[in-house]
Each structure stands twice: as structure tokens, then as C-alpha cells.
Amino acid sequence: MRLRDISKQLNSSLDARILVKHVTRLSDADLIGIDDLSLTESQHVQLQDFIKQRLDGRPVAKIIGYKEFYGRDFIVSDDVLDPRPDSEILIDVILERAKGRRGLSILELGVGSGCLVLTLLSELNASTAVAADISSQALGVARRNAQSLGLGDRISFVESNWFDNVQGQFDIIITNPPYINSDVIDELAADVREFDPILALDGGADGLNPYKVILPQIRTYMKHGGIMALEHGYDQCGRIKRLIENTGLSEIRDHQDLGGHDRVISAIHK
């Protein structure tokens, strides 16, 4: 089999390369100049199966079982949202606002794979975290990621409907809740609609249900000087900012993703 034939078949050289690298354990450098992949019989069978799954619409990350986020690999399964490159802006925002501070306590609501909170724990020395999700399956995936990144002793997990089972006050609160309007879920691209869990997508009639529950309570769970950052849909910034203005938080800022869309809002509890 040849890489360029697989790229043509999948209509994506990136997807082809990721699948081939996973099956062969070759690196990008190894693949330079290779024409025929010279696969073993079992590699051939596995690659054919992966190509079929991709042609059936399954996202690459869900096929190989992991996705890179902020330079680290995160295990993913059908129970969690695939980490999105656009969410990396939330990490940059927190690192900028928390510059020079260490030993911080972090809360994430709706942890999914754990890509956000585990990235922050990796980047912020001596910090600890509590991670909440309503899905016990998602918490299982986040736990595995914490172990594989060597962060298991700095994070605890709680099954919770937003703040319901959360205790304490935190230096940092982050959330990337489901924010798609219920009535547009059916119109999403098939690889999102069919392979990301509905619990990670559906934000209710106007997509804002989670923010309407989380934001009125958020200040109670923040320490003075605490920072909060949340991700939202590209057209929700104005409406969510108004919800945040009612919380009494200060220095409310909006931040854009790689495509220039409004994506994250941050604020502090003075």
C-alpha cells in the first residue's frame, strides 16, 4: 500500500498520515521518501479496517483512540468529546491571567476527556484540581488520562450535575459546557453528530442552558483573586457576557479562537 493512495482514498493526507503512523509506529521523519509501506499482514488488515471506519465517517481520533491537545496525547472514547484545537485558546487565556502564580486550585465543570484541566495541571506547577462531570463514563476516561500523564495524585473526580456535588472555593474555574442549540444538532456534520456524545453537545433551546445554571453560582465557588474562563459558541459572546455582568465578576474579557471567532470569555473575582 502507498501513503498517497490512502490519502486519495480518504481525501485527506493528514488523516492518512495519522492512521498509517498509528498502524506502523513510524514517525513523520520515517515516512519521508517511503513509497511502498511494506506492511505486515496484520498491519494491512488493521489499516484496511481503519480506512473503512474513516470512510464510514468515524473521526480519526475515535479510530485510533487518542487525540493531541496542547502538545500532549489524550485518550478518547465514544463517551467524550474529541479535544478541539479551538479550545487551546482557553489554556492560553488562563496561563496569561495566572502568570507568575503557582500552587493554584482548579475546578473544571464538564471535564470530558480531561484535556483542559490536565493541560493546566501540567503547565501550572504545584497546582491541584477537582474535575466534575455528570457522565461517569467521561470521568473514567479523564481518570485514565490523569494516570497516563502522571497527574493522578493532583486531581480528584466528582460525578456532579454542574456544582451540585462540588465543595470549596477555587483559584481557577473553567468550563466548556455543551452549547449547541437543540434544534441544530441534526444539522451538525455527521462526524460530530454521530460520534460525539449528545451530553457534550446539547445546550438546550438557545444553547445557553448550562451557562444559566453555572454563572449565577460561580462567584460563590471562586476565591478572591480567582479567575474563571469559559468556552462558548461563536455567536453567543454578547448574551453570555450579559449573564456574567450579573455575577459581580470584574475585568470581563472576550478572546478569539484560531479562526478569529469569539470563543472564550474570562473574568476575575476581585
Residues 247 and 244: their CA atoms lie apart, in Å, by 5
Q: Determine what percent of the chain falls in helix, strand and coil, rounding each to the nearest 5.
A: 45, 20, 35
| Cβ-based nearer residue to ligand SAM, 9 or 148 | 148
| Cβ-based nearer residue to ligand SAM, 113 or 127 | 113
Residues 156 and 142: their CA atoms lie apart, in Å, by 10
| Cβ-based nearer residue to ligand SAM, 115 or 208 | 115
| Cβ-based nearer residue to ligand SAM, 5 or 92 | 92
Q: Cell 466534575: give the residue.
A: 132
- The CB-of-87 to ligand SAM minimum distance in angstroms stands at 5
Contact 62, 76 (CB under 8 A): yes
- The CB-of-135 to ligand SAM minimum distance in angstroms stands at 4
228 forms bridges with which residues in the sheet?
A: 173, 267
- The CB-of-48 to ligand SAM minimum distance in angstroms stands at 30
- The CB-of-109 to ligand SAM minimum distance in angstroms stands at 6
**Site residues for ligand SAM per CB under 6 A:** 80-81, 83, 87, 109-113, 115-116, 132-135, 138, 160-162, 176-178, 199-200
Q: Which helix (H) or strand (E) element contains residue 17?
A: helix 13-24
